[in-house]
Homo-oligomer: A and B are copies of this chain.
Amino acid sequence: MSSPAPQKLAHAIRFLALDAIEHAGDGHPGAPLGCAEITTALFTRHLKFHAADPMWFDRDRFVLSNGHGSMLIYALLHLTGYEHISLDQIRTFRRLGSHCAGHPEYDPASGIEVTTGPLGQGIANAAGMAVAEAFLRNWLGEDMVNHRTYALVGDGCLQEGVGQEIIALAGHLRLGHLTFLWDDNRMTDDGGITIAQSEDMCARFRIAGWHVQDVDGHDVAAVDAALSLAALDPRPSMIACRTMIGRGLPRLQGQRGAHGGRVFAEDLIAARESLDWPYPAFTIPDDVLSVWRAAGRRGLPAYEAWHARLAALSPERRRLLDRLREGRLPEGWEKPLRNWRRDIAPAKAQGGINSSADIVEILATTIPELVSGAPDLEGPTQHKRHLTSFSATDQGGRYVHYGVREHAMGSMVNGMAAHGGVVPLGVTYLAFSDYERPALRMAALMGLPSLFVFSHDSIGIGRNGPTHQPVEIVASLRAMPNMLVFRPADAVEAAECWEAALSNRSGPSTLVFSRQVLPPVREDGTGENRAARGAYVLAEASSRRRATILATGSEVALALAARQMLEAEGIPTAVVSMPCWELFERQEPAYRDQVIDRTTVRVAVEAAVRQGWERWIGEDGGFVGMSSFGASGPEADLFAHFGITPERVAGEVRRRL
* A residues whose Cβ falls under 8 Å from a Cβ of B: 24, 26, 67-68, 94-98, 101-103, 105, 115-120, 155-157, 159-165, 168-169, 171-172, 188-191, 195-200, 203-204, 207-209, 256, 374, 376-380, 389, 392, 401-408, 431-432, 434-435, 437-438, 441-442, 444-445, 462-468, 471-473, 475-476, 478-482, 598, 609-612, 614-616, 618-619, 626-629, 631-634, 637-638, 641
Contact = CB atoms under 8 A, between A and B. Distances in A.
Copies of this chain per assembly: 2
B407 A609 contact: no
Contacts of A376: 156, 159, 188-190, 196
B95 A377 contact: no
Nearest to A447: B629
Contacts of A481: 471-472, 609, 626-629
A4 to B, nearest CB: 32
Nearest to A164: B164
A164 B155 contact: no
Contact of A632 (B96, B172, B615, B619): B96
Interface core residue of A103, A256, A632 (most chain B CB under 10 Å): A632
Contact of A195 (B120, B197, B379, B389): B389
Given A198-B171, A405-B159, A467 B633 contact: no
Nearest to A405: B159
B161 A408 contact: yes
A475 B612 CA distance: 9
Given A101-B631, A195-B389, A629-B481, A159 B168 contact: yes
Nearest to A154: B404
B156 A467 contact: no
Contacts of A209: 198-199
A612 B155 CA distance: 38
Contacts of A197: 168, 172, 403
Nearest to A478: B611
Contact of A435 (B116, B198, B403, B438): B438
B196 A102 contact: no
A641 B199 contact: no
Nearest to A598: B619
A434 B444 contact: no
Nearest to A407: B161
A437 to B, nearest CB: 4
A168 B119 CA distance: 17
A462 B103 CA distance: 11
A480 B189 CA distance: 31
A101 B631 CA distance: 8
A376 B103 CA distance: 18
A444 B614 contact: no
Given A199-B172, A466-B445, A479-B476, A96 B471 contact: no
A190 B401 contact: yes
B24 A463 contact: yes
Given A159-B403, A479-B479, 16 more contacts: A102-B462, A102-B464, A117-B464, A117-B467, A156-B404, A159-B165, A159-B404, A190-B377, A196-B403, A196-B404, A199-B207, A203-B207, A204-B207, A610-B615, A614-B619, A619-B619
Contacts of A377: 189-190
Contacts of A256: 379
Nearest to A473: B479
B404 A155 contact: yes
A464 B103 contact: yes
A95 B634 contact: yes
A164 B168 CA distance: 10
A349 to B, nearest CB: 21
B465 A101 contact: yes
B468 A117 contact: yes
A54 B304 CA distance: 74
Contacts of A208: 198-199, 204
8 contacts: A94-B634, A102-B465, A155-B404, A172-B199, A188-B403, A203-B203, A472-B481, A476-B480
Contacts of A160: 161, 165, 404-406, 435
Contacts of A165: 159-161, 164
Nearest to A402: B196
A509 B221 CA distance: 53
A456 to B, nearest CB: 12
B467 A445 contact: yes
Contacts of A438: 432, 434-435
